[in-house]
């Protein structure tokens, strides 16, 4: 069994713990949070710690540490874990600064440990089917893509904790809410060459943007439109990803991008399309993405290979978001290297 520890017992840690409990070959050994109140539910079940380094020193058998602390602390904790020669699963975004993300990748390689970044939306059944079709070349020449996140995060959400909505620890709608959607955009369409964008803080009392819009050009020549907002009234409206090419138009949508809304592909009959839609609708969420990532890390350790979502994968949407924010601030077109 591969032994896991979770650091940072906030909301997202619950998904990690559930995934570890369900994952084949994984077992939860310890949890850590600087606030002892958050550890009470684990008393007598697993080892609990208020200091991560103490946890690592006292438990040399911990194989993997899942980092679930505020985003601005990811780089610092990743470095400590890597220096203790433990593998790492870090929540999104892997870092808020490019230099921090690059340092995380460097320190993991230097210490010969595996670094995985949590982008679970790749494992949604509808997204998997879309990726499969794109890899088969079913779209022909790509025209453009659209990535949309129209969600609600009211002021009470940001007021839950002092770090929410800050530039140092959290980031705005792009880094926090839209980054999974942008990861899908890059995973499906490939790297971005240039971006022109605007962003604003319209409705929430926070340091960062609560709405943003961007136009991008991919290295393959296709265009893309990005819209992200936490200002939608009164609740989440939609998350969608749409791809358009000379032989296909596909949109995956819903409140979260789990459902096929458009599936028009040359050579695919109406009967085949309806069968696929029924298949997706019968189980639109599939195995939880966090469980996929946990199980993949188990296998990556056993097989001594890279995780399915690497640090290099994790840095790509961070680079895109930072370019969008730079363009919004300067009013200029920004080129990505």
Q: Looking up tokens 């990743």, which residue turns up?
A: 78
Stretches in the chain below the pLDDT threshold 50: none
Query: Does the CA dihedral 103-109-110-114 come out positive or negative?
Result: positive
The model's pLDDT over 163-222, given as tens digits with 9 standing for 90+, comes to 999 999 999 999 999 999 999 999 999 999 999 999 999 999 999 999 999 999 999 999
Q: What is the pTM of this model?
A: 0.97
Distance of CA 204 to the CA centre of its chain: 23
CA distance 65 to 217: 37
Domains along the sequence of the chain with CATH:
2-120+289-308 (3.40.50.720), 122-285+318-335 (3.30.360.10)
Return the pLDDT at 337.
75
Q: How many CB atoms lie within 10 A of CB 193?
A: 14
Helix axes 98-110, 74-83, angle to 10 degrees: 10
Which has the closest alpha carbon to 42: 7, 77, 66? 7
Return the pLDDT at 270.
97
The model's pLDDT over 68-99, given as tens digits with 9 standing for 90+, comes to 999 999 999 999 999 999 999 999 999 999 99
Q: How many CB atoms lie within 10 A of CB 34?
A: 14
Helix axes 98-110, 311-330, angle to 10 degrees: 160
């Amino acid at each position: 069994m591969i032994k896991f520890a979770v650091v940072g017992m906030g909301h997202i840690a619950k998904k990690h713990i559930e995934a570890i409990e369900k994952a084949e070959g994984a077992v939860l050994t310890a949890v850590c949070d600087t606030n002892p109140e958050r550890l009470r539910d684990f008393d007598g079940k697993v080892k609990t710690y208020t200091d991560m380094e103490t946890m690592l020193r006292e438990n040399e058998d911990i194989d993997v540490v899942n980092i679930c602390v505020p985003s601005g602390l990811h780089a610092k904790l990743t470095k400590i874990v890597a220096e203790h020669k433990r593998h790492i699963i870090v929540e999104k975004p892997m870092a808020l600064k490019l230099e921090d993300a690059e340092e995380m990748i460097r320190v993991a390689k230097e210490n010969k440990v595996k670094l995985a970044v949590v982008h679970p939306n790749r494992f949604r059944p509808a997204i998997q089917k879309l990726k499969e079709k794109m890899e088969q070349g079913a779209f022909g020449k790509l025209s453009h893509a659209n990535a949309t996140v129209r969600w609600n995060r009211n002021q009470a959400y940001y007021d839950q904790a002092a770090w929410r909505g800050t530039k140092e620890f959290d980031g705005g709608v792009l880094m926090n809410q839209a980054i999974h959607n942008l990861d899908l955009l890059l995973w499906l369409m490939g790297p971005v060459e240039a971006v022109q964008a605007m962003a604003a803080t319209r409705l929430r009392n926070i340091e960062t943007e609560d709405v943003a819009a961007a136009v991008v050009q991919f290295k393959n020549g296709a265009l893309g439109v990005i819209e992200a907002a936490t200002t939608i009234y009164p609740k989440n409206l939609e998350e969608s990803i749409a791809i358009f090419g000379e032989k296909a138009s596909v949109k995956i949508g819903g409140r979260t991008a789990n459902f096929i809304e458009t599936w028009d592909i040359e050579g695919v009959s109406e009967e085949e399309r309806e069968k696929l839609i029924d298949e997706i609708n019968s189980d639109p969420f599939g195995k939880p993405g966090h469980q996929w990532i946990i199980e993949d890390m188990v296998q990556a350790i056993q097989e001594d290979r890279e995780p399915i979502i690497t640090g290099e994968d994790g840095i790509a949407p961070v680079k895109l978001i930072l370019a969008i924010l730079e363009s919004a601030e300067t009013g200029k077109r920004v080129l990505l290297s």
